[in-house]
Structure 1
Amino acid sequence: MGYKLAAKSFSFPQTTLERKVKLARESLDKNDPMTVKFKVPLGPKEQVFTDNEEEELCKYIIDMESRLYGLTMKDLRGLVYRLAVKNNKRHPFNNEKEEAGKDWALGFLKRHPELSIRQPESTSSARAAGFNKQVVDQFFNFLGNVYDEHHLTPDRIYNCDETGISVVPKTKSKIIARKGRKQVRAITSAERGTTITVEICFSASGNFMPPMMVYPRKRMDPQLMINAAPGAWGVCSDSGWMTSELFLDWFKKFVEFSGATLERPVLLLLDRHSTDTKNIDLINEARTHGVIILCFPPHTTHRLQVADVAYMRPLSTYYDHQIMAWLRSNPGMTVTVRQVVEIFWKGVHTSVYDVNSCQWF
């Protein structure tokens, strides 16, 4: 019988009965074969689907999410209605909207704690198709052969990538605010900001190459590099993005920084456009100085590129912290491209970084 009928029949407080049943459920030992599982009837309501049917539905939802076609709550409610109608199930669902109710969907999630509502990360179909076991295995097999052939050590394995920074950070850190407030705001320098490209490079042993800053300008102004990272340098392009010529200039400095020679080759892992990796001058420069260039497979950098996966996100967070600190220290003023390089270096320096040895710890 249900809670209400049991409480009335035995003159027992219904709330106490519900609490005792809840405690009994929580104390059940699933590994104990003598444990007897029980369910309290739903009163006049009947369960639409059996436990096995709900388990099958749960597996289907998990399988669809793994294939990057996850169901929304509305999709679930519509699917459940169609399943009930197709299998001639008695149900209390809305026949006009042809979907189950919100209460049923929330109850289903409660009965299956392995499911939860999550915000998905956008993944293009090209990335989804490109990132597969065959492609990844082929890349790592090739990478392992390069390691073995040249006897590479961590200090001779480098990874480089580029990122864009702006006077308006793209990543905003969470702040403390009054509970219940509908909107929480934070001041920024402008609605939209100028984007500056930064070329980042580091080795598996922690050696960090001074960054190169690419400004969207016709001519380079030395004042833009005041208080920059030690050894950093600035260049300019019409769009502010990396070009083949600029990357070749950066590559020459990389050869000098890494100490690559034909007797001591180094490996450079990168995610480059075809205009960069198919540059004849770049290829000749790499062959002359013993630099092995290995590109990540197409549409896999969101998982394989170390700089993207483990470095750029924290860097954006630290950069936002320094932007906010600068705005609080200079009320009424706005961040311009002349302050970006100094603020960016402070953001990098916030991480545990040894300036003298150029190493991360």
Structure 2
Amino acid sequence: MPRTYTHKKRGKTMNYDTKQLADALKAHQNGMSIREASKAYNIPKSTLADRASGRYEVNVTHGRPCAIPIEVEKKIVETVKVTAESGIGISRKQLLLRTNVLCQRIQVHTSYKNFHAGKNWWEGLKRRHGLTLRQPERLGSTRRLMMNREVVGKYFEALSNIITSSNLNDKPEFIWNCDETRKNFEHNPVKVVSGIGAKNVCGRTSSKSTNITIMACVNAAGKAVPPMFIVKGKTPRSLYSFNTQAAPPGTKWSYQEKCWMTNQIGEQWFDTVFLQNCGTHRPQLLILDGHSSHKSLAILQRAIGENIYILALPPHTTHHLQPLDKSVFGPFNKAYNSACSEFLQDP
């Protein structure tokens, strides 16, 4: 809850707007005295005198200015509203955390020393921009319940509206889908020929259980952007054990302590991989799942600025609706296991 004051605040609440103040100043310039204009337009005489003398600007209001510049604040609010309509709702806690990260990243100079977006800032943001907290519809917490006509119908309705409004009906090369998959060096051996009833049929695998995360993105026309590989490590030295030169042309490499896709890596992928390879045509559509690394505030704002629509798949439905899971990762996993088995069988 915002802080409460037990003592009575001094001063009066401003009960006039900028237009009234401007009209009063105009009347004073036309010959009306400060006192007469003050009574006629219900504005304190001292306030009108300060504006008439040029001591303060006309549009100055009472109270301290917003902690974050209003231009940055408007972009944050616009991003939140757009993403909520696209099925990527942001909670209050996520908004505060990502606002602080954004302010640090772009080095926003606030009017408060050591500013930190908290509950008081949220209360003011709600009043200034007409925001509120809404309880999302609860349609089930399991995949079986989420795969119903209502949820899937709303998703395809939103998809159809975006494609129609942005004239992408006959432009599959500008409709993209991205997702990540994790591969373990200890692969699943392929099936081998054996006699009926044979026991203990074994296949050679790697002794390492290290993972590597692959970020992939393909459009509806079948074209893929270069992948991004995320390996386990804390420093760039973790990449030295990989033959990075043998990767597909344009591949980006990154590292993370647990080999996870994070907000920072997701933003890096969007800026250095997707935007660099999706072409200059606008608008375009990017379909993704609801993972937090895909919907960071920086990515959503950058997408709005680049005129790229972001559409999230409904939660717990990717096993049926994720195009990459259906058409790319399945065959890729089989090819990966086959390649690993053949590699380990070579003398």
What range is the shorter-chain TM-score in?
0.5 to 0.7
1 CA distance for matches of 2:302 and 2:318? 25
1:276 aligns with 2:294: yes
In structure 1, the partner of 2:172 is 154
Give how far 1:222 is off. 4.9
1:151-190 per-position Cα deviation (integer Å, ceiling 9, x unaligned)? 1110000011100012112x43222112221231101112
Q: Which amino acid aligns with 1:229?
A: P
Structure 1: any 5+ residue segments left out of the alignment? 1-123, 332-361
Paired residues of 2:285 and 2:309 also in contact (CA < 8 A) = yes
- Which residue is 1:231 aligned to? 250
Does the CA contact (< 8 Å) of 2:184 and 2:210 recur in 1? yes
Q: Following superposition of structure 1 onto structure 2, how do residues 136-175 of structure 1 map, counting pairs within 5 Å?
A: 136-152=152-168, 153-169=171-187, 171-175=188-192
The aligned residue for residue 291 of structure 1 is 308
Distance 2:245 2:229 in 1: 12
Detail structure 1 runs of 4+ shifted over 4 Å in the superposition.
none
Q: Residue 209 of structure 1 aligns to a residue in which SS?
A: coil
Assess if the C-alpha contact under 8 Å between 1:161 and 1:200 holds in 2.
Answer: yes
User: Which residue identity is paired with 2:278?
Assistant: S
TM-score (norm 2): 0.56
- Counterparts of 1:1-361 in structure 2, within 5 Å, are 126-152=142-168, 153-169=171-187, 171-190=188-207, 193-220=209-236, 221-222=239-240, 224=242, 225-252=244-271, 253-260=273-280, 264-277=282-295, 279-329=296-346, 331=347
Mapped to 1, the partners of 2:293 and 2:179 lie a distance apart of 15
Given residue 172 of structure 2, which amino acid in structure 1 is its aligned partner?
Answer: P
Asked whether the equivalents of residues 260 and 289 of structure 1 are also in contact (C-alpha less than 8 Å), the reply is no
Q: Deviations over 1:254-277 (max 9, x none)?
A: 01210245xx11111111323531
Where do 5+ consecutive residues of structure 2 fail to align? 1-139
For the 8 Å contact 2:215–2:229, the answer to whether it is kept is yes
Note the alpha carbon deviations across 1:8-36, whole angstroms, 9 max, x for none.
xxxxxxxxxxxxxxxxxxxxxxxxxxxxx
Displacement of 1:324 in angstroms is 1.1
Q: Which amino acid aligns with 1:241?
A: W
Query: Match for 1:126: what amino acid?
Result: T
Identity in percent: 33
Distance 1:178 1:314 in 2: 27
Structure 2 CA distance for aligned equivalents of residues 271 and 219 of structure 1:
29
CA distance in 2, matches of 1:280, 1:209: 23
Given the superposition, is the C-alpha separation of residues 260 and 128 from structure 1 closer, same or farther in structure 2, using an over 3 Å criterion? farther
Instruction: Tell me, in whole angstroms, the C-alpha distance in 2 between the residues paired with 1:207 and 1:255.
Output: 14
Q: How many residues align?
A: 202
Q: Output the aligned Cα RMSD.
A: 1.7
Identify the residue that residue 72 of structure 2 maps to in structure 1: none
Q: Give secondary structure in 2 for the equivalent of 1:200.
A: strand
Deviation per residue, 1:62-107 (Å, 9 max, x gap): xxxxxxxxxxxxxxxxxxxxxxxxxxxxxxxxxxxxxxxxxxxxxx
Tell me which amino acid in the other structure corresponds to 2:149: K
Shift of 1:147: 0.7
Distance of aligned partners of 1:291 and 1:258 in 2 relative to their CA distance in 1, 3 Å threshold: same
The structure whose RCO (Cα within 8 Å, separation 6+) is larger is 2
For residue 182 of structure 1, give the secondary structure of its aligned residue in structure 2: coil
- Answer whether contact 1:215 1:240 (CA < 8 A) is retained: yes
| C-alpha contact 2:166 2:283 (8 A) present in aligned 1 | yes
3-state SS of 1:139 partner: helix
Any idea what SS the aligned residue of 2:203 has? Answer: coil
| Deviation of the 1:251 alpha carbon | 0.4
Aligned to 1:334: none
Cα displacement string for residues 178-222 of structure 1 (whole angstroms, at most 9, x for unaligned residues): 2221231101112x5101100011011011111100011012235
Secondary structure in 1 aligned to 2:246?
Answer: coil
Tell me how far apart the structure 1 counterparts of residues 306 and 202 of structure 2 sit (CA, whole Å). 52
Do the aligned residues in 2 keep the contact of 1:260 with 1:291 (CA within 8 Å)? no
**Residue type at the aligned position of 1:311:** V
